Structure 1
């Protein structure tokens, strides 16, 4: 489960309560299996990762809206890393000590906290009763992420979410952060080039869920 602490501080705040979900479902969701029969979803990798991070975050005890903001943050990190590796984006220089200290001071003043989600250390701000991921010093809006995912997945959004939730439910909450990205590498759309869509096979997600249910 994610733990939080103030940016620039070593004190760790109490962990959020784990959401009570079945750790050992007896079989894959019938709805997820039916969705798999509808065929693959043709889509880019980024929205797939965004949605998977949100589902994993919910399994770790965050709300789904909180998870959406972490999904946007994490997918952005990986997209930038891939883009720099391909030479699409310029490699960023390490910030100077002065800039690093200024950024840390800004984060402390804003009340930014460090949150463990998806096996990564993320920056977040408390918005009402929720923790929203932070990018460039601003909290990410879950509504904007939800809208972009709806546009990306179209009428298959609920099918994919159901399949991902079935897989996440098969993995203990305390372990899912350690294996989440490895699992994503196994079911993500095949790479065909920057910006080129691939096929997301929901049958592959269902098979992974069944494997975990058989061994957990």
Structure 2
């Protein structure tokens, strides 16, 4: 039996991580970063949030030796959604999030991840998020953006059962928040 077509008020079934990745990329672009930099920074923000939640849920553990490890060389940082993201430049000079020391985090995997998660409704989701981002001045958006995400993110169980679960993302709520 064919599935009914999605309308503008039909929620998307999606995991929280790609929603945060797309939102952080939209916010980074609103702050003036080019798309590849924005996706790289967004990937770092979403990954950091996922690791913190995994530790809170007891899915992964913090390792005492990590806490005692020597500090990595200092990086320039970019503030995004309340997080300081270490950054480096790739061979072409593009500013990207630093992963594992000096290695830049490429944008392509984040782009593919978000495209797969949102499927044919990626453009629709991006438009709603861009409208919300445009409704606030960049400084306020960066400061309050994570709280905004918490207000519209998909609902999933708050415990380990919610880890990796898809929830409903209501684009209507995002559009209404944009005013």
TM normalised by structure 1 equals 0.73
Equivalent residue, structure 1, for 2:137: 172
Map 1:188-199 onto structure 2 (within 5 A). Answer: 188-192=153-157, 193-199=162-168
Whether 2:173 is the aligned partner of 1:204: answer yes
Equivalent residue, structure 1, for 2:28: 57
Aligned-pair distance for 1:36? 6.6
Q: Distance in 1 between matches of 2:53 and 2:38?
A: 22
Contact 1:36-1:203 within 8 A present in 2 as well:
no
Whether 2:144 is the aligned partner of 1:144: answer no
Aligned-pair distance for 1:38? 4.7
TM normalised by structure 2 equals 0.87
Whether 2:88 is the aligned partner of 1:118: answer no
The one-character-per-residue Cα deviations of 1:150-202 (angstroms, maximum 9, x if unpaired) are 11111111111110000000100121111000000000000231111000000
List, as ranges, runs of 4+ consecutive aligned residues in structure 1 with deviation greater than 3 Å. none
Q: Secondary structure at the match of 2:164?
A: coil
Whether 2:44 is the aligned partner of 1:73: answer yes
Whether 2:67 is the aligned partner of 1:95: answer yes
The number of equivalent residue pairs is: 167
Equivalent residue, structure 2, for 1:45: 16
Q: Distance in 1 between matches of 2:167 and 2:22?
A: 16
Q: Alpha carbon RMSD of aligned pairs, Å?
A: 1.6
Greater gyration radius: 1
Aligned-pair distance for 1:91? 2.2
Counterparts in 2 of 1:45 and 1:172: CA distance versus 1, 3 Å: same
Q: Which runs of 5+ in 2 are unaligned?
A: 1-5
Equivalent residue, structure 1, for 2:3: none
Whether 2:50 is the aligned partner of 1:82: answer no
Q: Which runs of 5+ in 1 are unaligned?
A: 1-34, 211-216
